[in-house]
């Protein structure tokens, strides 16, 4: 009997220790913007983007609520992929709720119209009260406990393949470039996150032509386990040439009910070789049932959103688990063979 209780005690004590070795990622619903929170086994945090401004602090409140759930009391790094309202707008309100160690961005905004200037100025006022790091393609963001490689910034991508990448991409021959995008979207900071054997990519709102530079004529990125859909799953991004070259096992769509999740992009993602599942923050109303993920894999099924999120827990051997906070649907993906 004593042996039984000792065994049970050992198991109970070892569960938190194992959990502490995981990389936790929370994809927070900010209604078609981005807010993605990483928490490393070393206890360090990285938030990618901060959602929208205003709405009575809606997005800042949601991020703060998820941070509390994750046990995060301080954001060590806040990465702003680019200076659009749905990505950087929430910075002033978020800074009132959580202290930030270092802001990371690509430097100056290319949008100098009055609205763009006002948005950037509001961000800079907050950013200048903390540490600040400007990154370029090829840089690393020094988040203890995971490897964060910058693969795109200021309209430039990495010029050399990452380890294990560099294969020719046959889809490039049939993929045409589009009209040049002069906006902040094309300036997005894109990152590839590696935790042991686990790999995930987040390219912000990087647009079609800039995506192609990363995978044509050769795939400089390699394969990933998880693909956070670029540009909220819109077809201005997500070309087959990049999505199919990445060969993700799982795609996460950070869309809203009426923003993102276009039928074309969802079909491109769904037909990517080796894809097992798509998880969505919202049911995309304009995409139709045939293009949306099955109901258990969608966090918000109607336009009336709630404070919800998708959680991903990655192990160093490449195994990861995804959970829908609405219904606690959970699925574990074993390491690649």
Over 50: is that where the pLDDT of 15 sits?
no
User: Two tokens at 137?
Assistant: 């393609």
- pLDDT value at position 312? 98
- On the question of pLDDT at 71 being above 80, the answer is yes
The whole-number average pLDDT for the span 5-25 is: 54
Contact (Cβ atoms closer than 8 angstroms) between residue 270 and residue 297: no
Distances (CA, A) of 152 to 10, 116, 138, 220, 271: 46, 21, 8, 11, 25
| In a domain? residue 6 | no
Q: What is the pLDDT of residue 302?
A: 81
Domain assignment present for 15: no
User: What average pLDDT does the chain have?
Assistant: 93
Classify residue 132: in a domain, yes or no.
yes
- Residue 13 is assigned to a structural domain of this protein: no
Q: Which residue has the tokens 């763009």?
A: 116
Q: How many domains does the chain have?
A: 1
**Residue 173, domain extent:** 23-333
- Domain for residue 17, yes or no? no
Residue 308 confidence class, pLDDT cut points 50, 70, 90: confident
pLDDT at 236: 96
Query: Does residue 10 belong to any structural domain of this protein?
Result: no
229-258 mean pLDDT: 97
Question: Looking at the domain assignment, is residue 265 inside a domain?
Answer: yes
Q: Nearest to residue 81, comparing CAs of 146, 163, 141? A: 141
Within-domain flag for 9: no
Looking up residue 176, the CATH number of its domain turns out to be 3.60.15.10
Contact 293, 281 (CB under 8 A): no
Report pTM: 0.93
pLDDT at 283 over 70: yes
Does residue 303 carry a pLDDT above 90?
Answer: no
Span 199-228, pLDDT tens digits: 999 999 999 999 999 999 999 999 999 999
**Mean pLDDT, range 142-167, rounded to an integer:** 98
Least confident of 263-267, 300-304, 329-333: 300-304
Look up residue 38 and give its two tokens: 């990483």
Which pLDDT score, from 0 to 100, does residue 118 have? 97
Which of 130-139, 305-314, 324-333 bottoms out in mean pLDDT, i.e. has the lowest? 305-314
Q: Are 278 and 269 in contact (CB under 8 A)?
A: yes
pLDDT above 90 covers a percentage of the chain that reads 90
């Amino acid at each position: 009997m004593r042996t039984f209780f000792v065994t049970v005690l050992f198991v109970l004590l070892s569960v938190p220790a194992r959990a502490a070795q995981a990389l936790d990622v929370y994809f927070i619903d900010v209604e078609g913007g981005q807010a993605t929170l990483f928490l490393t086994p070393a206890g360090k945090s990285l938030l990618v983007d901060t959602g929208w401004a205003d709405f009575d602090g809606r997005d800042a409140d949601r991020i703060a609520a998820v941070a509390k759930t994750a046990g995060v009391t301080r954001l060590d790094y806040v990465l702003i992929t680019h200076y659009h309202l749905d990505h950087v707008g929430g910075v002033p309100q978020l800074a009132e709720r959580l202290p930030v160690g270092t802001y990371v961005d690509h430097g100056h905004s290319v949008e100098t119209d009055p609205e763009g200037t006002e948005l950037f100025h509001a961000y800079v006022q907050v950013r200048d009260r903390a540490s600040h790091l400007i990154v370029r393609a090829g840089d690393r963001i020094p988040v203890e406990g995971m490897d964060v490689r910058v693969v795109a910034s200021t309209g430039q991508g990495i010029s050399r393949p990452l380890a294990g990448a560099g294969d020719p991409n046959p889809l490039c021959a049939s993929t045409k470039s589009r009209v040049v995008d002069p906006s902040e979207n094309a300036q997005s900071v894109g990152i590839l996150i590696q935790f042991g054997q686990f790999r995930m990519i987040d390219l912000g709102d990087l647009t079609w032509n800039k995506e192609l530079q990363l995978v044509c004529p050769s795939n400089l990125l390699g394969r990933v386990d998880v693909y956070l859909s670029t540009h909220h799953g819109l077809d201005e991004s997500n070309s087959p040439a990049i999505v199919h070259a990445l060969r993700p096992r799982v795609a996460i769509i950070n869309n809203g009910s009426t923003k993102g999740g276009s039928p074309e992009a969802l079909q491109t993602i769904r037909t990517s070789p080796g894809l097992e599942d798509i998880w969505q923050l919202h049911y995309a109303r304009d995409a139709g049932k045939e293009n949306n993920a099955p109901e258990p894999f969608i966090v918000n099924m109607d336009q009336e959103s709630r404070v919800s999120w998708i959680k991903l827990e990655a192990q160093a051997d490449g195994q990861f688990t995804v959970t829908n906070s609405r219904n606690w649907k959970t699925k574990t993906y074993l390491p690649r063979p």
